[in-house]
Chains A and B, each alone.
Chain A
Amino acid sequence: MLTAVLILAILALVFGLLLGYAAIRFKVEGDPVADKIDAILPQTQCGQCGFAGCRPYAEAIAKGEADINQCPPGGEAVILSLADLLGKDPKPLNAEHGEAKDIKTVVVIDEQQCIGCTLCIQACPVDAIIGAAKLMHTVIKAECTGCNLCIPPCPVDCIHIVPVGTTLQSWKWPSPEKTVAATEAVTP
């Protein structure tokens, strides 16, 4: 009886020490899952998912508080990657959060109309709009993520969405399936 208790006590002690050591030895800083999710999200910081940016959404997914289908800018590709990462079943985009865009867009400010109110500058999550109070503002096209968060605050509606055009450098070969389907549609 006594030996059994002793053995159990020693075992408990040994495993306790082992666990304690492991906790120190293999300590992981931060939340690696949230980091991985954040790496997949498109970083438009548009907030369409209902969170204040990509990082909060990533943390919410990691905690299981949000679903993986709430990111319209990421579209199907992000949902598939997230499903792959988290071992969940992919599902279609939740329409409550908006529709996926086929074409990437950025915004431009109509500089003739801009009154220099700085409201858009404050709204921009990536500081892609430059300008000062009472002076014309402009969008740095290369930095714009296309989140469109600057559009609602603008009092004179001078911010417009424009598609990002394809160049020879960014041109992609279309999927052969699409091509085959297209040619079949043309020549029945």
Chain B
Amino acid sequence: MIHKLNRFHGGLHLPDHKAVSMQAQVTPQPLPKQLVIPLQQHIGAIDEPSVNPGERVLKGQLIARSDAHVSAPIHAPSSGTIVAIEARPVAHPSGMPAACIVIETDGKDEWTTLTPCADYTQLSPETLRQRVHEAGIVGLGGAGFPSFIKLTPGIGKVVETLILNGAECEPYITCDAMLMQARPDTVLQGAQIMLQAVQARHCLIGVEDNKPTAIAALQHALQALNDDRIRIVPIPTIYPTGGERQLIKVLTGKETPTHKLPIDVGVVCHNVATAAAVADAIIEGKPLISRYVTVTGAGIGQAHNLEVLIGTPMQTLLEECAARNVPDMQTIMGGPMMGFVVEDLQAPVIKTTNCLLHQTKPQSQAALPCIRCGECMRVCPAQLLPQQLYWHARAKDLDKTQDYKLFDCIECGCCAYVCPSHIPLVHYYRFAKTEIWAREREKLKSDHARERHEFHLQRLERKKQEDEERKRKKRELLQRAESPDDNKQDAIAAALERVKAKKAAQQVAPQNTENLTTAQQAKIDAIESRRKTLSNDSGQDEGQ
């Protein structure tokens, strides 16, 4: 059985540097003293902590969740005490801190009660999705999109093919390769569960052909499993085959329309590590609290893969792998193409941390002007015109960048990699993208303000009108009073009658009048008599 493969435009053959971290087996990282768990490790809404400082938590216990649809709950990676919920350094290109839950581990690693499921085939797709959601599983390939959403095809959508992404096209990263080698059965079980959750016909597992051991392990496990819905497809090693839309094109020949999702072409795509996490969550009931992380790079003494609890500071991983600590080193989270530099190594490993790349800072080469060589265009997997995007982004002509489909850019970095003028193209695109998002937020805000201002003006206007109406009525009354018209006199008399009647009605029995002292009684009497004379006076006035 040979699967017919397709090609996407452009791409690069990169030196893969993968062998260096694949020599050793995956080792579990020792339990750190403190775990720092950011409240946002996924795309979507930030979680709210559901625990308080001082509370003891068990391994696997829910510690943060959100009511928003696009979100994933977070669980305690080990047992211990919550010592703080505060802003800590996190892995983010901005280098800014963010809210984290800090757990002081107690070393017991005591599990909370789990709900394993021996036979998942009994579970309905809804239940499976619900459990995947509750386990806090997000896309482990790097994007971190909550997985249960991608397992929900939506009304009227039929999933033809489930694709498991084992391409791992970025250089250096080997965590998925090691996972497929070490736990092929779990990956395949995950595939079966996902097939059931999305009710897909078959599943293709795409693995780049520079990982023969992983392919062999999967094939061996598949033979034992004997599930003819699943097929393992070796694919050519071209960066960025691991991009979701690129992989779909390679495996099925289908192009996902822009602004649409793979589901619209009948495909659902998940990472192999996500599949393994789904299997663990459904079969053993374990939430996502650890992952494989590749620690590698020229500055690492013993590059290998570690099984790391979420929340472990990156520094401890580097120490574990004998990182050289020289000043001009930098640590990148992710691969060399799409990763970003982590400024503060106290930042913890999160659900999407697939690789720590420790290497010498590249010499910053001054950018020359673009000579329009067109190499960027030739390598662009989205078939964009990177140089046009660059010019418009540089000129801050954001509308033009959208004309040239900036948002179809997947930021794979091929263009910047080949640019002979060393122009930081991806940086320009990221700048333009965040600038456009900010502008849209601003636009929403200003529209909102305009609405509120218009409402404010309307309110003032209404008030003015009401005031004027009142004044006009008063004036009318006055005019009537002045004019000797009988009708008006009658009307005034009738109004006064009404007032009198109202006053009479209001003269209810006085309260608290029992047990009054004589002095009090005398005072009251005096007041009453005064009031009477006054009302008589006014009555006389009326008569005139």
- Does A143 lie at the interface of the complex (its beta carbon under 8 Å from any beta carbon of B)? yes
Contact of A125 among B98, B394, B445, B456 (CB under 8 A): B456
Contact of B453 among A43, A170, A171 (CB under 8 A): A43
Contact across chains for B96 and A168 when beta carbons are under 8 A apart: yes
Contact across chains for B449 and A171 when beta carbons are under 8 A apart: no
Chain A residues, Cβ within 8 Å of B457: 53
Chain A residues, Cβ within 8 Å of B437: 172
Nearest Cβ in chain B — how far from A43, in angstroms? 4
Binding-face segment, A61-69, A88-96, A173-181 = A173-181
Chain A residues, Cβ within 8 Å of B449: 43-45, 126, 143, 145
- Does B10 lie at the interface of the complex (its beta carbon under 8 Å from any beta carbon of A)? no
Contact across chains for B424 and A166 when beta carbons are under 8 A apart: no
Contact of B94 among A126, A171, A177 (CB under 8 A): A171
Chain B residues, Cβ within 8 Å of A179: 424, 427
Nearest Cβ in chain B — how far from A119, in angstroms? 15
Contact across chains for A172 and B450 when beta carbons are under 8 A apart: no
Complex interface bits, A111-153 against B, C-beta within 8 A gives 1, otherwise 0: 0000000000000111110000000000000010100000000
- Residues A171 and B434 in contact in the complex (CB < 8 Å), given A145-B449, A176-B424, A180-B367: yes
Contact across chains for B435 and A172 when beta carbons are under 8 A apart: yes
Chain A residues, Cβ within 8 Å of B366: 180, 184
Chain A residues, Cβ within 8 Å of B455: 127
- Residues A173 and B456 in contact in the complex (CB < 8 Å), given A38-B450, A180-B367: no
CA distance in complex: A17, B378 (Å):
58
- Does A183 lie at the interface of the complex (its beta carbon under 8 Å from any beta carbon of B)? yes
- Does A54 lie at the interface of the complex (its beta carbon under 8 Å from any beta carbon of B)? yes
Contact across chains for B435 and A170 when beta carbons are under 8 A apart: no
Contact across chains for A173 and B450 when beta carbons are under 8 A apart: no
Contact across chains for A176 and B427 when beta carbons are under 8 A apart: yes
Contact across chains for B364 and A183 when beta carbons are under 8 A apart: yes
CA distance in complex: A43, B447 (Å):
7
- Does B28 lie at the interface of the complex (its beta carbon under 8 Å from any beta carbon of A)? no
Chain A residues, Cβ within 8 Å of B396: 175
- Does B442 lie at the interface of the complex (its beta carbon under 8 Å from any beta carbon of A)? yes
Nearest Cβ in chain B — how far from A129, in angstroms? 11
Closest to A122 in B: B460
- Does B452 lie at the interface of the complex (its beta carbon under 8 Å from any beta carbon of A)? yes
- Residues A173 and B93 in contact in the complex (CB < 8 Å), given A42-B446, A43-B447, A180-B367: yes
Chain B residues, Cβ within 8 Å of A177: 394
Chain B residues, Cβ within 8 Å of A184: 366
Chain B residues, Cβ within 8 Å of A54: 450, 453
- Does B391 lie at the interface of the complex (its beta carbon under 8 Å from any beta carbon of A)? no
- Does B40 lie at the interface of the complex (its beta carbon under 8 Å from any beta carbon of A)? yes
Chain B residues, Cβ within 8 Å of A41: 446
Contact across chains for B446 and A126 when beta carbons are under 8 A apart: no
- Does B92 lie at the interface of the complex (its beta carbon under 8 Å from any beta carbon of A)? yes
Chain A residues, Cβ within 8 Å of B452: 126-128, 143
Contact of B431 among A126, A143, A166, A173 (CB under 8 A): A173
Nearest Cβ in chain B — how far from A85, in angstroms? 12
Chain B residues, Cβ within 8 Å of A43: 445-447, 449-450, 453
Contact across chains for B453 and A175 when beta carbons are under 8 A apart: no
Chain B residues, Cβ within 8 Å of A170: 438, 441
Chain A residues, Cβ within 8 Å of B441: 170
- Does B430 lie at the interface of the complex (its beta carbon under 8 Å from any beta carbon of A)? yes
CA distance in complex: A175, B428 (Å):
7
Chain B residues, Cβ within 8 Å of A127: 452, 455-456, 459
Chain A residues, Cβ within 8 Å of B98: 168
CA distance in complex: A62, B507 (Å):
64
CA distance in complex: A179, B423 (Å):
13
Contact of B442 among A42, A45, A126 (CB under 8 A): A42
Chain A residues, Cβ within 8 Å of B450: 38, 43, 54-55
Contact across chains for B453 and A173 when beta carbons are under 8 A apart: no
Contact across chains for B428 and A172 when beta carbons are under 8 A apart: no
Contact across chains for A172 and B453 when beta carbons are under 8 A apart: no
Nearest Cβ in chain A — how far from B72, in angstroms? 16
Among B90, B96, B447, B455: residue with most chain A CB under 10 A = B96
CA distance in complex: A154, B366 (Å):
53
Chain B residues, Cβ within 8 Å of A42: 442, 446
CA distance in complex: A170, B440 (Å):
11
A→B interface (CB under 8 Å)? 38, 41-45, 53-55, 124-128, 143, 145, 166-168, 170-177, 179-180, 183-184, 187
Beyond the given A125-B453, A176-B427, please list 6 additional residue pairs across the A-B interface where CB-CB is below 8 A.
A41-B446, A42-B442, A54-B453, A145-B449, A171-B92, A184-B366
B→A interface (CB under 8 Å)? 40, 90, 92-94, 96, 98, 364, 366-367, 394, 396, 424, 427-428, 430-431, 433-435, 437-438, 441-442, 445-450, 452-453, 455-457, 459
Q: Which 7 A-B pairs rank lowest in CB-CB distance, beginning with the nearest?
A: A43-B446, A172-B434, A43-B449, A126-B452, A173-B430, A176-B427, A173-B431
A-B contacts, 24 of them at CB < 8 A, read A43-B449, A45-B453, A54-B453, A55-B453, A124-B456, A125-B456, A127-B452, A127-B455, A128-B452, A143-B452, A145-B445, A166-B96, A167-B96, A171-B96, A171-B434, A172-B434, A172-B437, A173-B427, A173-B434, A175-B396, A177-B394, A179-B427, A184-B366, A187-B364
